[in-house]
Structure 1
Amino acid sequence: MKAIKYLVMGVLLAGFSATANAQEEELNAALQGIKSKAPDVAKLANTAYKKNKKNAENLMKIARAYFEQKDTAGAAQFARYANEAGKPKYQYAPAYLLLGDIESAYGTDGGKAAGFYNQAINFDPKNPEGYKKWAMVYRKISPSQAAKKLQDMKAQCPNEDIDAFTAHIYMLAGDEKQAYENYAKADINKLDKSGLNEFVRCSYFTGHFEDALRAAEAGIKLEPRNPTFNRLAMFSNYELKNYDAAKAYINKYFNETDSAKFSEYDHFYTALIYQALEDKANMYAQYDKALELVNDSSMIKRWAILKSVSDSYLKDQEFEKAIKYYEQFIDSKPDMSFDDHEGLATIYSKYGDAIPEKKLEMMNKAIALYRTLAEKYPVQEVYATYMRASLNNKLDDNMKNSLAKPDYLKVIELLGNKADRSKGEDLMLKTSYHYMMFNSYINKNVAGAKDYADKILAIDPEYKPALEIKNLK
């Protein structure tokens, strides 16, 4: 009896093996046909389907093969076959994942893709893939809802690290602030090149330079010649005032990375580093390169570079060059403000203060400019008038010619009866009264001087020069 029993079992096993082998052969034939785009691929796939009607896993292999060849109709059909294979006992979550992938890649309705992914989550809540795919699709609708879905994943899949993925979602949505906040919580040692790239960028562009440097240095350990990591390590060191470290990265970035092209922004930042190190020759050389490369689509504007160059020459007291570049700045910047125009008057004034033989010419240029600005910007009339008075006073030896008197009187006219003066206006009015007080005194008008002293004391009761004039006999 035992011999007969084993014989029967052998026959059954042989039959099962033959069936399994047939299924495998037909499955492989279909997969190869799909990959090679064989003319009879539909027939091969149909034959494989008939032999695998109850094998959801094999049917999904065919569906995935179709998807890889961008045959969405075939992929969707076999995904549905795979789902049918599990019924009525269960719904097949991988089938819904693929249906979601099809809609996500080729459909126009992101909500439909999210619906398929949600079905996958419902039928297999312990699989993190459904949550991640749902979040990637839904980020276009609501990044915060996508982030919330990842929190749901964390509850079901506690071993999943959601911080970096959440940060990635926000980065794709263009929300660098939220991306930074999530990357800052992630384990930097677990981030790959792509994650570190996003971390360094969102940190830098939100002003978190220490984290930007940390991410850049971690990235450089993975890819020493990576231009993004070296570039932002250089920039971040500059922002952190690590100027020597920033200088070291200048060589690394320009000479030891795989960057094929350097931008005007790179040269501009390099100029700032050399400026901080007081390396003027290299600073101006880098500014020149930045100006050669800058164009209308550049991240930094030509006028911003010109302003920085002018400021540098002004600091070095090379006034003619400071004026030259500032005039170019004025010509290139759209929507000039009062402050922008006033910058040129400031250069004139400093030029006149520093070079005695240029004093009269430069102060008069500044005075004329303030007169023009008072007309162009009526809201700044008081300030411009006050500045004209101050500059005229510099040209007048001990008020000998009372050059500043007309403008100080104009300030008094504009502010004297104003009820809601600001602190700045009080200061301008007080200074104007001070001038008129001493102008009256040196011209032997003691009564007039005392009258101005009273006006000053109404603003500042402790002002000593006014108290001294007030107490004159």
Structure 2
Amino acid sequence: MKAIKYLVMGVMLAGFSATANAQEVELNAALDGIKSQAPTAAKLAEVAYKKNKKNPEAVLKLAQAFYAQKDTAAARKYANLANEAGKPKYQYAPAYLLLGDLEATYGTDGGKAASYYNQAITFDPKNPAGYKKWAMVYRKISPSQAAKKLEDMKAQCPDEDVDAFKGHIFMLANDEKQAYENYAKADINKLDKGYLNEFVRASYFTGHFQDALRAAEAGLKIEPRNAVFNRLAMFSNYELKNYEAAKSYINKYFNETDSVKFSEYDHFYTALIYQALEDKANMYEQYNKALELVNDQSMIKRWAILKSVSDSYLKDKEFDKAIEYYEQYLACKPNLGFDDEEGMANIFSKYGDADASKKKEMTTKAADLFGTLAEKYPIQVVYANFMRAGLMNKLDDNMKNNLAKADYQKVIDLLATKADRSKGEDTMLKTSYHYMMFNAFLNKNKALAKEYANKILDIDPEYKPALEIQKLK
């Protein structure tokens, strides 16, 4: 009896194995046919489905194969059949994920894709894929809601790095501030190259240079020749005033990175590094390269580079070069303002102060320019006349020719009766009265000098020169 029993069991198991093998053979044949886009692929899929219609995993493989070949109709058909295969016992969450992918990739209704992903979450709340895919779709509608959904994932899937994925969501939504705030909370040691790339950019462009450097250095451990990591490590070190460290990245970035096209911005920043290190030869070489590459579409503007070059020459007291580049700056900068044009007057003034042989010529140019600006910018008329007065006074020998008197008088006329003067305006008025007071004193008009002294003391009761004049008999 025992022999017969085991014989029957062996026959039954052999039959089961043969059936299972046949199902697998037919499924593999269908998958191969779909992948090779064979003319019989649809028929092979039907045969495989009939043999596996109670097996949702097998049916979903058919759907996924069609999805890979961009046959959306067949993919949708078998995804729905895979879900049906799980009923009535359960809904098949992976089928909803694929249906969501179909809508997200080929559909026009993001809400429908989100709905499918939400069903996947409902039926398999421990699978992080549903939350992530829902967030990726919903970020286009509301990045903050997408981030909130990821908090639900955190409760169900504690091993997932929610902060990093939230950072990714906000980066895709072009919200660098929120992207930075979330990436900053993530474990940097667990971030892959893509996340580190986003973290370094979000940090740098929101002004968090220490974190940008931290992310760049972590990225370089993974990919030492990565252009983005080397570039932003160099830039961040500059912003942190780590100039020698920034310099060490110059060679790495320009000579040891892969697949990079250097921009005018790269050369401009490199010039700034060399400038900080007082390496003038390399600084001007990099400025020139930046000027060669800059165009109307550049992130940095030609006029900004020209201004920086002019400032560098001014710092080095190479005044003729400073003037040359500042003239180019003024010629190409759109929407010039008072401050822009005042810059040229300041160069003239410093030139005159530094070179005795040029004092009269350059100081006169500066004064004349302030006179022009007083007419061109009425809102700055007080300041422009005040500055012109100071320059004219430099050309006067102990007030002998009263060269500044007319301009200081204009300042007095404009400010003396003004009720709501600012602190700066009080200073300009006091200085103008001071000139008039000493001018009167030098011309031996003590009464007038005392009159101006009293006006000064109304503004500043402790102003010593005015107090001294008051004591005169």
TM normalised by structure 1 equals 0.99
Partner Cα separation in structure 2 for residue 435 and residue 109 of structure 1: 76
Q: Which aligned pairs between 1:376-391 and structure 2 lie closer than 5 A?
A: 376-391=376-391
Asked whether the equivalents of residues 154 and 162 of structure 2 are also in contact (C-alpha less than 8 Å), the reply is yes
Partner Cα separation in structure 2 for residue 394 and residue 147 of structure 1: 64
Q: Which aligned pairs between 1:360-371 and structure 2 lie closer than 5 A?
A: 360-371=360-371
2:57 equivalent in structure 1: 57
2:321 equivalent in structure 1: 321
1:122 equivalent in structure 2: 122
Structure 1 gaps of 5+ residues are none
2:251 equivalent in structure 1: 251
SS in 2 for 1:91: coil
Q: Which aligned pairs between 1:37-436 and structure 2 lie closer than 5 A?
A: 37-436=37-436
SS in 2 for 1:399: coil
Greater than 2 Å deviation, 4+ residue runs = none
Could you tell me how far 1:11 is from its partner in structure 2? 2.1
Could you tell me how far 1:347 is from its partner in structure 2? 0.3
SS in 1 for 2:398: helix
Could you tell me how far 1:448 is from its partner in structure 2? 0.7
Could you tell me how far 1:369 is from its partner in structure 2? 1.3
Asked whether the equivalents of residues 227 and 260 of structure 2 are also in contact (C-alpha less than 8 Å), the reply is no
Partner Cα separation in structure 2 for residue 157 and residue 174 of structure 1: 27
Could you tell me how far 1:472 is from its partner in structure 2? 0.8
SS in 1 for 2:291: helix
Q: Which amino acid aligns with 2:76?
A: A
Question: How many residues end up aligned between the 2 structures?
Answer: 473
Asked whether the equivalents of residues 121 and 130 of structure 2 are also in contact (C-alpha less than 8 Å), the reply is yes
Partner Cα separation in structure 2 for residue 99 and residue 62 of structure 1: 13
Partner Cα separation in structure 1 for residue 142 and residue 175 of structure 2: 11
Could you tell me how far 1:15 is from its partner in structure 2? 1.8
SS in 2 for 1:252: helix
Q: Which moved more, 1:46-55 or 1:255-264?
A: 255-264
Partner Cα separation in structure 2 for residue 148 and residue 261 of structure 1: 39
Partner Cα separation in structure 2 for residue 44 and residue 213 of structure 1: 55
SS in 1 for 2:335: coil
Q: Which amino acid aligns with 2:264?
A: E
Deviations 1:193-233 (A, max 9, x none): 11111111111111111111111111111111111111111
Partner Cα separation in structure 2 for residue 461 and residue 397 of structure 1: 29
2:437 equivalent in structure 1: 437
SS in 2 for 1:317: coil
Deviations 1:130-149 (A, max 9, x none): 00110111111111111100
Deviations 1:2-35 (A, max 9, x none): 2222222222222212211111111111101100
Deviations 1:79-112 (A, max 9, x none): 0000001111111100000001111111111111
TM normalised by structure 2 equals 0.99
Partner Cα separation in structure 2 for residue 424 and residue 245 of structure 1: 42
Q: Which amino acid aligns with 1:90?
A: Y
Could you tell me how far 1:377 is from its partner in structure 2? 1.2
Deviations 1:305-327 (A, max 9, x none): 00000000000000011001001
Q: Which amino acid aligns with 2:396?
A: D
Deviations 1:268-322 (A, max 9, x none): 1111111011111111011000000111111111000000000000000000110
Structure 2 gaps of 5+ residues are none
Partner Cα separation in structure 1 for residue 111 and residue 448 of structure 2: 82
Deviations 1:384-435 (A, max 9, x none): 1111111101111110100000010000000000000000000000000000
Asked whether the equivalents of residues 139 and 146 of structure 2 are also in contact (C-alpha less than 8 Å), the reply is yes
RMSD: 0.9
Q: Which amino acid aligns with 2:247?
A: K
